[in-house]
Amino acid sequence: MADAETGAGVEAGERDLTMSRAMVEAIETEMRSDEDVFVMGEDVADYGGIFDSTEGLLEEFGRERVMDVPISETSFVGAGVGAAQQGMRPIVELMFADFFGVCMDQIYNQMAKNTYMSGGGVSVPMVLMTAVGGTYSDAAQHSQTLYGTFAHLPGMKVVVPSTAYDAKGLMHNAVRDDDPVVYMFHKRLMGLGWMPAPEGPKTAVPEDEYTISFGSADVKREGSDATVVTLGLHVHRALDAAESLAEDGVDAEVIDLRTLVPLDEETILDSVAKTGRLVVVDEDYRSFGVTGEIIARAAESSLGDLEAVERVAVPDVPIPYARELERAVLPGAEDVEAAVRSAIDE
């Protein structure tokens, strides 16, 4: 099985997949080859997942391996931890990342800490997959990404795919990893019939299995005038911004983090050394999160390389319902473009 470090490493097949189908393809391949892999979540069976993350799995694997569970996040997320500690490989779905509140103890105090608290005695080979993100007026309790919250707390790997190709490779790696992996997929990128995706997440996907290592950011667009570091939906917003900037001769480099934990610092710092201008774009709240972290790391290691830094993020405000208000808080391509221009003007 090939290990793909970048998009160019493996020969692409002749078919494209939506991000949801790429995720499902990885899950079903893992389930076929390992009896210990099973899926648990709300509406994952007949419904195939509210965001299509388990579409078609019930038919092939049945209700014992594709389990609908009661609305009892603490108990079923915790059950995932327990089963994983017994050597199984559960893929547990938290329907919306926003729901982490009701089961956070099982996530950050049990799943993330048992390996350490046991001095390496136990492992928790579990995937916690969850839907994130706004852009469709689902308001404050159903639109968050919460990347910073999960990345901040020690003990769990955090994965954020932005394309179908990345989604499949990262999911294969997530299931095989002996550590807990929080796999955060953006609803707008899934390719749902009722929430059309932008151009970008649907890509060619090899039919064979392959993994993408964690801690390997992907330069989605090379450039020499500014470094734009981002993840998830905003990889595509940044690429749109880069296209617009190119018309004015501004050449932006877009780095897709792909994983927050572990974080690929090297790719970021190499780029900053090249461009001197660091723009970080995040669909999570501005304060105490991803944008601050990336800039802090650059400042710590490469202060001399930095001429300008810019943050583009959601202000510290619950996400509002009305379309005009939601648009005012979620960064758009124009905001990324403005930040790049601002970095260049400094």
Partner 1 sequence: MVSANDLQEMYENAVTARHYEERLQEEYMEGKQPKFDISAGQIPGELHLAAGHEASGAGVCAHLRDDDTVTAPHRPHHVAIAKGVDLEAMTAEIFGRETGLSGGKGGHMHLFDPDVNFACSGIIAEGCPTAVGAAMAADKRNTDSVAVAFLGEGAINQGGFLESLNLAAVRDLPVVFVVEDNDWAISMHKDRVTDVETAAGRAGGFDLPGERVDFNDAVAVYEAARDAVERARAGNGPTLLDVQVHRLMGHFMGDPESYRPEADVERARRLDPIPKLADRLRSEGVDDDTLEEIAARAKERVEDAIEHAKEQPKPDPATVQEDVFTNPPSGATDEEPDAGGPTAAAGGED
Partner 2 sequence: MSEMAGDRVAVDSGDVWPADADDIAEGYVATWFAREGAAVEAGETLCEIQIEKVGVDVPAPVEGRLAEIVAPEDAEFERGDVLAWIEPG
Footprint of partner 2 on this chain (CB under 8 A)? 14-18, 21, 191, 193-194, 202
Task: Verify binding: residue 68, partner 1, rule CB under 8 A.
Answer: yes
* Minimal distance, residue 71 CB to partner 1, in Å: 5
Active site residue 186: no
CA torsion sign for 279, 130, 236, 212 is positive
* Minimal distance, residue 52 CB to partner 2, in Å: 8
Cα–Cα distance between 133 and 284 in angstroms, integer? 9
Which CB sits closer to partner 2, 191 or 200?
191
Binding partner selected for residue 47 from partner 1, partner 2, none, CB under the kind-specific 5 to 8 Å limit = partner 1
Cα–Cα distance between 203 and 92 in angstroms, integer? 26
Give CA separation, 288 vs 97, 221, 246, in Å. 18, 27, 32
Binding partner selected for residue 191 from partner 2, partner 1, none, CB under the kind-specific 5 to 8 Å limit = partner 2
* Minimal distance, residue 82 CB to partner 1, in Å: 17
Task: Verify binding: residue 110, partner 1, rule CB under 8 A.
Answer: no
Q: Which stretch binds partner 1 (CB under 8 A): 135-143, 176-184, 201-209, 270-278?
A: 135-143
Which CB sits closer to partner 1, 92 or 170?
92
Give CA separation, 80 vs 70, 90, 185, 258, 276, in Å. 14, 6, 19, 24, 44
Q: Which stretch binds partner 1 (CB under 8 A): 130-138, 218-226, 258-266, 282-290?
A: 130-138
Edge-to-edge strands, sheet with 37-41: 66-68, 37-41, 89-96, 127-132, 181-186, 157-159, 259-261
Structure tokens belonging to residue 109: 């105090």
Write down the catalytic residue from 142, 172, 186, 236. Answer: 142
Residue 41 backbone phi and psi in degrees, to 5:
175, 180
Cα–Cα distance between 280 and 220 in angstroms, integer? 15
Q: Which stretch binds partner 1 (CB under 8 A): 17-25, 99-107, 165-173, 227-235?
A: 99-107
DSSP 192: B
Residues that bind partner 1 (CB under 8 A): 42-43, 45-47, 50, 68-75, 98-99, 101-102, 135-142, 193-196, 315-318, 320-325, 327-329
| Catalytic positions | 142
